[in-house]
Amino acid sequence: MTLYGIIASFPDADRLADAARAMRKRGYSRMDGYSPYPVPELADILGMPKTRMPLVVLAGAILGAAFAYGLILYSVEIDYPINVGGRPLHSWPAYIVIAFEAAILGAAVAGFIGVFVANGLPRYYHPVFNAPIFTFAEGGNFYLLVRADDPKFTRAATKAQLSRLGADQISEVEA
């Protein structure tokens, strides 16, 4: 059996955050938290990096707008130039609306793809699902997983630490 880590169940979000903070102070760095709803301070405690999704969405919007504007310019000035009513071929006010809509579409597509890539989806399997206490039947619980590849990890010491921090249940997670 290859050990992925040790998972502990806590009754509420405050105890989960306190346990994660205490484990972080003891030198543990490779941990994950699982909860039925977002716990705002947990991301900072676990040392999760800030998201780059705003930049991905902005890049998608800029690329979408530039592509649409470029396509309009190509079709109007190069592919099929027609002078209608004496207006110039590059009549930008009429093209801004379409470019704006393409920017919105580009941002949405970039955001959708970015979320999939950032979360490693589709992921059909994760070792945490091997833990007997990590089930939907145990709904409403809050979990802290300490991974076995953490430099401070030892099986007995980690279990003892989690038990002292008030974990309801502790279980080993097979890889």
How confident is the model over 18-32, as pLDDT tens digits?
Answer: 999 999 999 899 999
Count: domains in the chain: 2
Asked if residue 124 belongs to a domain, the reply is: no
% of the chain with per-residue pLDDT over 90: 45
Bridge-based pairing state of the strands 31-34 and 169-174: unpaired
User: Residue 133 pLDDT > 70, yes or no?
Assistant: yes
**Together in a domain, 59 and 94:** yes
Asked if residue 127 belongs to a domain, the reply is: no
Question: Greater confidence, 111 or 139?
Answer: 111
Question: Greater confidence, 134 or 19?
Answer: 19
Question: Greater confidence, 58 or 95?
Answer: 58
**Together in a domain, 46 and 69:** no
pTM, 2 dp: 0.73
Asked if residue 72 belongs to a domain, the reply is: yes
Q: Which of 133, 128, 138, 125 is nearest to 171 (CA)?
A: 133
Model pLDDT, residue 92: 85
**CA dist 39 → 17, 34, 43, 59, 78 (Å):** 8, 9, 8, 29, 55
Taking all residues of the chain, what is their mean pLDDT, rounded to a whole number?
89
Model pLDDT, residue 136: 67
Model confidence at 138, pLDDT cuts 50, 70, 90, reads low
Reported as type and span, the H/E element at residue 174 is strand 169-174
* Mean pLDDT, residues 83-112 taken together: 91
Model pLDDT, residue 124: 83
Torsion region of 87: left, alpha or beta (phi above 0 gives left; psi -120 to 50 gives alpha)? beta
Cis-peptide into 54, omega within 30 deg: no
Contact 114, 53 (CB under 8 A): yes
Q: How far apart are CA 64 and CA 42, in angstroms?
A: 35
Asked if residue 128 belongs to a domain, the reply is: no
Q: For residue 36, what are the domain limits? A: 3-50+133-174
Q: How far apart are CA 168 and CA 165, in angstroms?
A: 10
Q: How far apart are CA 50 and CA 62, in angstroms?
A: 22
Amino acid at 151: P
**Together in a domain, 110 and 150:** no
Model confidence at 137, pLDDT cuts 50, 70, 90, reads low
Asked if residue 162 belongs to a domain, the reply is: yes
Model pLDDT, residue 91: 82
Asked if residue 125 belongs to a domain, the reply is: no
**CA dist 75 → 87, 94, 99 (Å):** 16, 14, 14
Q: How far apart are CA 16 and CA 20, in angstroms?
A: 6
